[in-house]
Every structure is written in C-alpha cells, then in structure tokens.
Structure 1
C-alpha cells in the first residue's frame, strides 16, 4: 500500500505559487528565511464541554494530518532521545517512525509475527512504551508476548510470553509503574479467530497482568470481557483500564496495593451514560500530569478530568484508536489509516 507523507513545502511570499503539485499541504519560510516551517492539512474541531478544557487546548485548535497509508495505526509513543514518534500498524506488521525532520519511515518490519505465512489479521505490534531504561517495550500480537527492543540495534527479546505456562492471547496495551512493574491488557483481538478463537487461545480469561523485574507475570484482573487501553495515575496509586465493550463501555479504576495487586474495581467513566446518543467506547487512554485522561473514542479523543467528568473532545473526524503526549507540545493521534496531531497548551 502506498504510504503518503503529508509534507509538501511552499515557500513564503514570492515563491508561494511554486508549491509542490503532488502534495496537499503548504510550507512557509520564517522571517529570516533560514528555516522551513511545515504546514499540514487541517481538520477537525475542539468541543468545549467545561471551561477547564481551555486550560488544556485552545478552542480554535485544529488537528493536523501528518501521514496516511496505514491500515490500522495504533500504540504511539514519543521518543525523547531523538525527538521522534514510533507507532504500530497492527495489520501491516510494521512499527513506523515519524519526525518533523525526516517524515515517515519504516522503523521495524516485520514488527511482530515473522512467518512463515500469515498468523492473523492483526499480527503486528500494538501498544508501545519507552521504559525507564530507554528500551522500547512492545505488545506483540503475532508472538503473543511482551517484547523488549533496543532502539539502536532493533534487536528483540522476550520480556514475558506466558502466565502459568499458558501463552497470552494477544497483549494489547501496556504501562509502567514508578516502581518498574508493568501492567498490560490481553484481549483476543490478535488471535486468528479473535473473540471466537477456540483453537489457539490457551487462557480462558481476557486478563490484565502485572509483570515484575524478573519477567514473572501475575494475573491481576480476570473478569473483564474486552480490556484494552491501560494507564497509571501520576501518583502511581491507581490503575485505569478501558473496556472496548459496547455493552459495558466503561473505564475502570483500581487502587494499586503495596504488593502490586489491585483492589476491587469501580467505574470511573461510563460512555453510555455520558454520551447516550453515541455508541462510544474507549480504546487507548493516556493521562497528563494533572490527572486529566485522554481517551481515544469514536472520531477523536474525549478529555476527562480527575473526577471522571468529561470536559471536552478533540474531534479529528477519523476513528481514533490511541494517542500519545510528546515533549514538543503536541498530542499525537493514531487514527485508522492516518497519523495526526494537535497542539496542547501544557
């Protein structure tokens, strides 16, 4: 499939009419004419549901389209050491790299299943994170594991691939606790038969797991139908799990105990209650330093404050699976076949 980087450059003033005819975006030079400022196609709107939203994003902010040509873009993570974004295409089995300087490139291919043949429809990686040691940690659908990847050599190794000797379903999203433990969700979306898989599925539950420094997995949640996005509060005390479940479109909250196990869950947010006219459920979730949650749902991101109140929406116009904060001040969105971003205030 053709990958199209949205990078057309248009020089300011006298050169404005000389835009690259094969591109859809514009680029203008700055005042001293020494640097090119890229301009990307604009789309979407910001919906303010509470004045608190205006402390996070300008009401007139628009989403920028950076690249397209993916099949199912997922799991973005910003890499500070290099100032670039990595994200998965679960179906093309590629981890992509995007930067302002170099645009879109393939970072690892194949990212997950390495053959022979085809394993499943979504056999690549999904959720990504940069751990405390600077390694890329990947939820690997195709190999049913959590993989550890050296960013320089791109060498992969298995962090964990089983619980009690049984292979995971298809690890989906992951976060790391301040103490170094990982928590990840394990729904069946990467299995050959997905929800109806009976031949390759080894664990009955679609669980949530904790993994310690030794690579030992503990099942900490077993009663969720479709656990998906996962994030830990800034103080390290609460674990949030998004359910991509049309019947129970909740974001659940769990207190994290001293031993890393969890309290009984409670509903933090109910999409059906808050948006009854829409069929929304969260996929990926992230949380800023103030405890505001950014939940990818429907055609963008729903912003929820620390009390569980929706304060606004970033409407990208494209179904959005996940998002990631970056030190360049943008929120990056993986939206079906597109990579998008929007400028935040903090």
Structure 2
C-alpha cells in the first residue's frame, strides 16, 4: 500500500498556531518580510538528502536507523509540489542518504551502512531501473557514502564517513572521492576526520567539505567540527585545503549548498539554535534561517522553484522562499 501525506494539513496548522509560522531573521540579503517557513511533510524518522527532481517533483531520503526503528530499511520519499502529497518512492532504499540529479536526469544516490548498500547508484526516473555506479574502492566496500555533488562534466564527488552500522570498516580512511563518467574512482581528500556535507562553488573551482566528528576520548582523538575549503582544478583534483569555518566542539555542520552568488548555506546541527547558516565568500555569517527542528540538509529548487530553499530537519521537510537563486 502506498503511503500518502499531504502538506495541506500542515499549512493549516501553520496558520492556526503562530509558533509554527516562522519568519527568517532578515538582513534583506537572502530573505525578506514575505519569507515564511512552510512545513511540507513530517512523517519521517531522520530526513536527509533533499533534491529537486528532473520530473518536477521533490525527493528526499529517510534514514531509519535499524536499532531505533525495529529494522526498517530506509525510505526515499517523493513529494509532489503541485498536489502537496508525499509518497513512498522506494523502500528499502539501501539506507539512502544524499541524493542529486545528474545532467541526464538520473537520480544519483549515496547508500550508507547499517544494513544499507554502501554504494553509489543511478536510477532512471522514467523506467525506474537502477544500476550500481561504484560499490568498491581498491577492492573493498566503502564505509558509508553520505553526501554528493555533481559538476558540469557530470563528475560525482562524494563523502564516505561512518556514523552508524555493524559492518566492518575496510577503507583505511574516511575519504572524499571523485567518480568519473568512465566509471573510474579517485580518492581526492583523505585528511578530514569525518567528511560529511559537500558543496561546489559556482565556478567549480572551490570544494567545501563539512566535518562533523565528536571525537573519541578513549582513543585520544579530539573533536573536529569544521567546514574545509579546497581548491579544485579542471581535472577534479583538490589541493590547498584549509578551514573555512571553525565551529565549537559541541556541534558541527551537516549538508550544504551554494547559491548563484557563491554564498554557502549550511545545515548546522546546533540543538540550542536550529538554523540554516548562510556565509559569504569570505566566511562571514550574513544570515540565519531558524527552524523548529535540527536541520540535516538544504538545497534549492529549480525552474519555477528556483527561489525556494528546501530543508530536511528532524523527520520533516520544510521550504522557504528567498531572494537568492540556486546554482543550477
């Protein structure tokens, strides 16, 4: 049986309960007085991977940690922007996390660990058929592919940390990889403790990597909660990595995206002040968009939705209209 959710109920709730109708903090750079936060969906467990589909619908993942959900197997949800209804698109999802669409309109998915696929897959939305793009590096499974970004040459950059799961870790590092059109995979970054969110500058010459690692006191490993920036050359090789934003050890960044001006939007996992933090090219905080739940990821829509930001947070999906546009 197909599960269906409608956002109309939540819009009514937003009107009745003013605490649920949130206005973003505004400096007239990204939002204005008309920018209102709308909850589109709240039936998930841990929503992630928001992506505007080539079919005009919106897709996002739901990470159903097996220990906490009685062995559920992950979900990819499909939200129809016209009807406001949300359906189960795929379950089991292979513990899908990050989702993007390539230039051929295929859905590219990071499948994680915890009984998931630990691979990168591609799905043709027209036929529904999927194929594995990569599942091994140097003959060993990935740790837990987490998030991804795709450049204009259709090269896929993805992060491979490990936050949960029973599976043996067989890779020597938590890395950032580039998957080329010919199927070859290159490890381009290996010095970040736990790479998570990833974003590419509009000119594709800067690669942002978020690290959200609480450390391991027993092993003497300190927390690392930063956003790093790397130069990226035309061959897709990263160099000259440095800290772009340094966060307190108590919380760190999750998913990220950029707008056409190059501003960086960060889902910051700060339980005391759940927000999307927006930074300019010089790492200055220019605005925050407050949320009622801790955010996990953020992206822009496309076409007529190009001025809408979609955010996953808690078990929900939100959107807000802004003055900026995504780098699509």
| Pair 1:256 & 2:232 matched | yes
**CA–CA separation in structure 1 for the residues paired with 2:211 and 2:33:** 29
- Structure 2 gaps of 5+ residues are 65-71, 215-222
Q: What residue is the counterpart of 1:184 in the other structure? A: 158
**CA–CA separation in structure 1 for the residues paired with 2:240 and 2:191:** 11
| Pair 1:269 & 2:269 matched | no
- Structure 1 gaps of 5+ residues are 11-22, 28-39, 113-123, 193-198, 273-277
Q: What residue is the counterpart of 2:181 in the other structure? A: 213
Q: Give the conservation status (yes or no) of the 8 Å contact 1:69–1:338.
A: yes
Q: Give the conservation status (yes or no) of the 8 Å contact 2:10–2:39.
A: no
Alpha-carbon distance, 1:4 to partner = 4.9
Q: Give the conservation status (yes or no) of the 8 Å contact 1:77–1:129.
A: yes
Which residue of the other structure, out of 228, 239, 243, is the alignment partner of 2:207?
239
Q: What residue is the counterpart of 2:218 in the other structure? A: none
Give secondary structure in 2 for the equivalent of 1:57.
coil
Q: TM-score, normalised by structure 2?
A: 0.84
Q: TM-score, normalised by structure 1?
A: 0.79
**CA–CA separation in structure 1 for the residues paired with 2:10 and 2:22:** 22
Give secondary structure in 1 for the equivalent of 2:39.
strand
**CA–CA separation in structure 1 for the residues paired with 2:14 and 2:276:** 24
Q: Give the conservation status (yes or no) of the 8 Å contact 2:148–2:198.
A: yes
Alpha-carbon distance, 1:190 to partner = 4.6
Q: Give the conservation status (yes or no) of the 8 Å contact 1:175–1:182.
A: yes
Alpha-carbon distance, 1:63 to partner = 1.3
Larger radius of gyration: 1
> Map of 1:1-346 to 2, 5 A cutoff?
4-8=5-9, 24=13, 42-48=20-26, 51=27, 54-59=28-33, 61-79=35-53, 81-91=54-64, 93-102=74-83, 103-112=85-94, 124-141=95-112, 142-192=116-166, 200-246=168-214, 247-272=223-248, 279-297=250-268, 298=270, 299-327=274-302, 328=305, 329-346=307-324
Runs of 4+, deviation exceeding 6 Å: none
Q: Give the conservation status (yes or no) of the 8 Å contact 1:205–1:222.
A: yes
Q: What residue is the counterpart of 2:220 in the other structure? A: none
Alpha-carbon distance, 1:301 to partner = 0.4
Cα-to-partner distance string for 1:162-204 (whole Å, 9 max, x where unaligned): 1111110110000112222111000012532xxxxxx621102
Q: Give the conservation status (yes or no) of the 8 Å contact 1:6–1:24.
A: no
Alpha-carbon distance, 1:24 to partner = 3.3
- More deviation in 176-185 or 315-324? 176-185
RMSD of aligned residue pairs (Cα, Å): 2.4
Alpha-carbon distance, 1:256 to partner = 1.0
**CA–CA separation in structure 2 for the residues paired with 1:139 and 1:229:** 12
Work out the number of aligned pairs and report it.
295
CA distance 1:82–1:211, change in 2 (3 Å): closer
